[in-house]
Amino acid sequence: MGTEVHDAALRARDAARVLALATRKQKDAALEAMALALVAGTDEIVAANAEDVAEARAEGTPENVIDRLSLDADRVAAFAQGVRDVAALPDPIGEVVRGSTLPNGLQLQQIRVPMGVIGMIYEGRPNVTADAAAICLKAGSSSLLRGSRSARRSNAVIVQIMRAAVESVGLPADVIQAISADDRSTSTDLMTARGLVDLVIPRGGAGLIKTVVEQSTVPVIETGTGNVHVYVDKDADLQMALSIVMNSKTQRNSVCNAAESLLVHQAIADEFLPQVVAALSDAGVLIHGDERFAAFDAVVPATEVDYATEFLAAEISARVVDSIDEAIDHVRRFTSGHTEAIVTGSIEAARRFTMGVDSAAVMVNASTRFTDGGEFGFGAEIGISTQKLHARGPMGLTEMTTTTYLVTGTGQIR
């Protein structure tokens, strides 16, 4: 292990011990100071980000990736507000998950406690730097933030601003630390720092997530890719369906909860396909479709690879299915386990779909874009977990904690 990660992890552990004893008032004061400082530092953040964006463009980075990298004053204000929103949430530390009095008189309580040191390995979006630091701090843990090289200037300024804010209210600055992105070895060092780092969370593309899951010796919460489906059932309100499809795909297409695949029941295909193909095409979305869709000039033939692809761009795969069961089979074959949606007026169809698919979130008559910690009322999220152990779906404060059993007696012995 390199000295940078080793030394940073040691400092993080010392800082985490101090943070574990902090009151909610102290933690919220730190978060409020961070939010104010981020807003005050908007010009500095945006200037650093402009350098990152210019370098990315010069290297030929695709525009959908540039979008995730780019910051302006509104985006800085948004993630600063996310930090403030975390401060307004209840403190999970000390919460009693369950409790009872045993027959021998022992008082048993399972309580939430900090995880300790949490490592984040992520790509692109500099807003993740603020989100992750805020959630970890409120949950009582130190954060080691290893962003991508493409955002290194933006991340460095954001971390510098937050560290100064935390220190200004009397907490150790080392509860938030940036890990250098100049050398890939720092990622390996972070994910193999077992005994120093308690949890690693990857957030980014399929390649990054696969690498961390397969190579990490530190426990991992997997935040998966979003091959998200919208199924329009034979009993759907077609105007509602069109609105949901368009919002799911085009409201912001470079994010993990954007729709990547459209399934349409054959019973309403003749009426719905002309509407949805025209609307998507007018919005600049390239449709990769099956034979029914490909009858339209704006559609290109779909391949098996297309149905398995998270485009993160103005592209979508599309297919007509003969039944809801065929739709479920298609979803289960190609899903990444993130979010699926059904548009239907049938309670039975909704029940069958929600029980048939296997994803972290399932929407009934609503846009897939709602799979988000902020939209769910959790405050800023640290990612969307697509695994089934410990955390699944948007990960907020409680998912960043673990538990301890507190047993209080009056002298009992076994």
List the chain residues with pLDDT less than 70: 1, 379-380
> At 285, which amino acid appears?
V
Q: With contact defined as beta carbons under 8 Å apart, do 133 and 34 qualify?
A: yes
Q: Express each pLDDT in 164-206 by its tens digit.
A: 999 999 999 999 999 999 888 999 999 999 999 999 999 887 7
Dihedral sign for Cα atoms in the order 263, 243, 258, 354: negative
Q: Going by C-beta distance under 8 Å and a sequence separation of 6 or more, which residues neighbour residue 225?
A: 205, 206, 209, 256, 310, 336, 338, 386
In this prediction, residue 205 carries a pLDDT of: 79
Residue 276 to residue 282: CA distance in whole angstroms: 10
State the residue for tokens 């960043």: 400
Q: What is the pTM of this model?
A: 0.83
CATH superfamily of 3-223+395-408: Aldehyde Dehydrogenase; Chain A, domain 1 (3.40.605.10)
pLDDT at 210: 87
Question: What is the location of CATH 3.40.605.10 in the chain?
Answer: 3-223+395-408
80, amino acid identity: A
With beta carbons less than 8 A apart as the criterion, state whether 30 and 137 touch. yes
Q: How far is CA 252 from CA 68, 314, 359, 367, in A?
A: 10, 9, 21, 12
- Is the CA virtual torsion 211, 217, 218, 219 positive or negative? positive
Determine the Cα–Cα distance for residues 203 and 200; give it in Å rounded to an integer. 10
Q: Where in the chain is the domain with CATH 3.40.309.10?
A: 228-370
Question: CA nearest 340: which of 251, 413, 232?
Answer: 232
CA atoms of 414 and 406, how far apart (whole Å): 17
With residue 394 as reference, give the H or E element that holds it.
strand 393-394
Question: Does residue 369 contact residue 244 with C-beta atoms inside 8 Å?
Answer: no
387, exposed or middle or buried, with CB in 10 Å at 0-12, 13-18, 19+? middle
**Across the strands, what pairs with 288?**
300, 317
- Show the tokens assigned to 159: 């971390």
pLDDT in tens, 42-78: 999 999 999 999 999 999 998 888 988 999 999 999 9
DSSP of 135-199? HHHHTT-EEEEE--GGGHHHHHHHHHHHHHHHHHTTS-GGGEEEPP-SSTHHHHHHHT-BTTBSE
228-370: CATH architecture: 3-Layer(aba) Sandwich (3.40)
Radius of gyration of the chain (CA): 23
CA distances from 364 to 59, 199, 263, 352 (A): 41, 33, 14, 11
What is the rounded CA–CA span in Å between residue 3 and residue 21? 28
Q: Which helix (H) or strand (E) holds 318?
A: strand 315-321
Q: Using CA atoms in the order 50, 52, 58, 60, what is the torsion angle rounded to 10 degrees?
A: -120
The CB-side HSE value for 119 (13 A sphere, CA atoms) comes to 32
For 29, phi then psi, to 5°, come to: -65, -40
C-alpha 99/C-alpha 164 separation (Å) is: 40
Classify residue 59 by its DSSP letter: T
Q: Which among 159, 206, 207 is positioned nearest to 180, based on CA atoms?
A: 159
Residue by residue, DSSP assigns 96-121 as EEEEEE-TTS-EEEEEEEE--EEEEE
Q: Which residues pair with 107 in a beta bridge?
A: 101, 408
The residues near 17 (Cβ < 8 Å, ≥ 6 apart) are: none
CA angle (403 as vertex; 397, 408 as ends), nearest 5: 135
In angstroms, the CA 125 to CA 129 distance is: 8
